[in-house]
Structure 1
Amino acid sequence: MIYIDGSYGEGGGQVLRTSLTLATLTGTPLRLDRIRAKRKKPGLAAQHLTCVRAAAALCNAECKGDALGEIALDFIPQTPPQPGEYLFDVTTAGAVSLIVQTVLMPLALTPGESLIALRGGTYVPFSPPVPYLQQVFLPLLERMGVSATVELVKWGWYPRGGGEIQLRVTGGGAPRGLQLRDRGELTQVRGLAVVTELPSHIPQRMANRAENVLRDAGLYAKVEPRREKGIAPGAALFLTAEYERSFAGCGALGRKGLPSDRVADMACEALLQFHHSDAAIDRFLADQLLLPAALASEESHYRVADVTLHLTTNAWAIEQFGLAKIHCSETEKIISVYPTG
């Protein structure tokens, strides 16, 4: 049994998700203690508990401590990961993208087709929004040999949730390594300004503002305004920068009292900050690529915008399973992943 201290480094949910993924893939019994110890409310919240139950469903794991608020968990896989059709409901606005992070690689490495319906929050604070998965994360994973798509069925916002996505995975291959020190020239910037249960002039205003701000900065962008389905009011702007060899994504959430122009400004400021750097990978994608890189058949090297605590914590969690050695250069901002499996 592998013991993981959930308070290590950032002490958040990423240690839990990475550990569950690798325990599911390797069949290794896992004991997690002090789960999310450095968060305001430690222990398993609804989205983390859903990650546990999703991983357990894939490998028929026996679990002890799989309850809301628990700070210790025993997770004992009984079978290899099983492809198929699954439904997982967070029941809150917890981010469905974090469930995707947990189940994607076990299914991608297992021969067979899988369809997973996930319900919860599709665009919530401090988590990758679904457009990020669709336009940044999964397209780059496709270049590494991982075949998966996400369809957004219904939007869900904090605090109501109620969103839904469908994840399709074609499994059976081993991911390739990633060599991405230079992103190349910018080829296009596109965006999505979306609202639910709000007037249609709001997404149009966000889209116009974003296009104007980026044009003033020398970037041409096409931002699509949409009024979509959802059970509660919500608004967001998401921008994708596509380069010759990479992608980057930045967004901003609306909230009551925050002008739509300010939402657009926030997303544009984040995108321009990345664009004016020499990074090939944005700070959010940097740690999300560690798992597929660690499971690849070749080593990986990529230049990131920042070596964050989130990234180094995830690297530590992966190394506990002995599947890869990971080096994070603070000076050159190069992440090197050397698979050992």
Structure 2
Amino acid sequence: MAHTLVNFSGHQHLRHRLVLAILTGKHIRIDKIRSEDKNPGLRDFEISLLRLLEKITNGTIIEISVTGTSILLKPGIIFGGALQHDCPKSRSIGYFLEPIIMLAPFAKRPVQLTLKGITTDDHDLSADLLRTVTLPHLQLFGISNGLELRIKKRGAPPEGGGEVQFLCPIVKQLKTLNFVDPGKVKRIRGIAHAVRVNPQFSNRMIEASRSILNRYIPDIYLYSDVYKGDESGKSPGYALSLLAESTTSVIHCAEAVSEPGVAPEDIGLKATRQLLAEVNKGGCVDRKHQTLVLMFMVLGSEDVGRCRMGEPTPRTIQFLRDVQTFFGTSFKIVALPGCSQLLYSCYGTGYVNANRTLA
């Protein structure tokens, strides 16, 4: 049987292209990976991600060229099961978990994945946001029972030492999404954590954040999460993760992470302003979760899925092009009158999890 080979060049958008290849079973070749760079080829975290994808699938063949500037991936089936993976210190756990969250519901067995490394940094979604914001987005598509992310140990950069456990059930098929009413913000929740620094730092972030948030709504609960000893990882650090939830279960989130020489109060204020900016952009899905929601809309049952969001980020625009390449699905995107939001709609492919073990 001749397989379709999809060709790309460059290291950008690597994660979602690998996910699309595995979901569609199409072979993918990516060339010219940083070929002009002083240090050409794949980075350690990209190789680590390929190894993780090998672990979660069965029969996947990955060929990396000698220079590391091109890869060929022939996907197998998504197998799942109990897995462990050590993430390099160059990227946080969120980098690895985001693509896995897109694949896990379609595995043969429920996924129990333990990842070790950095739990919060300023590049990728932190373990807190993945737990409180990303996973609830899966519930919109009918993935809920047994869906969990446990933060066992926190790990700040540069040394990490954190550990999380991701549990995901398997589904036969996703529900069609119809998410067009953003509602009104009814409550704000937050987690301030401090590891290997004065525990007061988390309270200082909370107080600074409240100094702004208290002007808007009364239902605010910011939780201080202090880890001690082994559970606090190997490096000092602190961060504030915030989320605003609306009357229709829309979640907008923001986060700020400790920086050298910056006071905890300033980190608290930075996260709060980012949250207000996100809420101001509106829509039913924030910018960090556009690709996840659009991906699951494509995989939904054979019906029209609709979702209201802000303008697509550059990453989302490329993702929509790649979805068309792999699935042949295009989105209809219509501007909504009187605001900068858009209505995204597509006809679901009726993707069925053929891997799952029938009970």
TM-score scaled by structure 1?
A: 0.89
- Which moved further from structure 2: 215-224 or 127-136? 215-224
Which structure 1 segments of 5+ residues have no match?
none
* One of 131, 134, 141 as aligned partner of 1:137: 134
Alpha-carbon separation, structure 1, partners of 2:134 and 2:324: 22
> Which residue number in structure 1 is paired with residue 92 of structure 2?
95
1:5 corresponds to 2:17: no
Tell me the number of residue pairs that the alignment of Structure 1 and Structure 2 aligns: 334
Q: Tell me by how many angstroms 1:70 deviates.
A: 2.3
**Mapping 1:254-273, distance limit 5 Å:** 254-273=258-277
What one-letter code is carried by the residue in structure 1 that aligns with 2:14? L
Q: Once the two structures are superposed, what CA deviation does each residue of 1:207-260 show, in whole Å capped at 9, x if it has no partner?
A: 111112111344642111222222110110000111122111111011110111
1:305 corresponds to 2:310: yes
3-state secondary structure, aligned to 1:177: coil
Q: Tell me by how many angstroms 1:91 deviates.
A: 2.5
What one-letter code is carried by the residue in structure 1 that aligns with 2:166? L
Q: Which runs of 4+ in 1 moved over 6 A?
A: 36-42
3-state secondary structure, aligned to 1:84: strand
- Which moved further from structure 2: 275-284 or 112-121? 275-284
> Which residue number in structure 1 is paired with residue 109 of structure 2?
112
Q: Tell me by how many angstroms 1:106 deviates.
A: 2.9
3-state secondary structure, aligned to 2:80: coil
What one-letter code is carried by the residue in structure 1 that aligns with 2:119? T
TM-score scaled by structure 2?
A: 0.85
Alpha-carbon separation, structure 2, partners of 1:66 and 1:196: 41
Alpha-carbon separation, structure 1, partners of 2:28 and 2:170: 24
1:161 corresponds to 2:160: yes
> Which residue number in structure 1 is paired with residue 32 of structure 2?
34
Seq. identity, %: 22
> Which residue number in structure 2 is paired with residue 18 of structure 1?
16
* One of 303, 311, 324 as aligned partner of 2:329: 324
Q: In the alignment, is the contact (CA less than 8 A) between 1:174 and 1:296 conserved in 2?
A: yes
Q: In the alignment, is the contact (CA less than 8 A) between 1:323 and 1:340 conserved in 2?
A: no
Alpha-carbon separation, structure 1, partners of 2:7 and 2:58: 19
- Which moved further from structure 2: 85-94 or 254-263? 85-94
Q: In the alignment, is the contact (CA less than 8 A) between 1:295 and 1:323 conserved in 2?
A: no
3-state secondary structure, aligned to 1:334: strand
Task: Pick closer, same or farther for the CA change 1:42–1:219 going to 2, 3 Å.
Answer: farther
Q: In the alignment, is the contact (CA less than 8 A) between 2:187 and 2:217 conserved in 1?
A: no
Alpha-carbon separation, structure 1, partners of 2:38 and 2:117: 21
What one-letter code is carried by the residue in structure 2 that aligns with 1:131? D
- Which moved further from structure 2: 110-119 or 245-254? 110-119
Alpha-carbon separation, structure 1, partners of 2:36 and 2:246: 36
> Which residue number in structure 2 is paired with residue 242 of structure 1?
245
Q: Once the two structures are superposed, what CA deviation does each residue of 1:257-305 show, in whole Å capped at 9, x if it has no partner?
A: 0111110111111111222343221111112222222211143222223
Q: In the alignment, is the contact (CA less than 8 A) between 2:161 and 2:233 conserved in 1?
A: yes
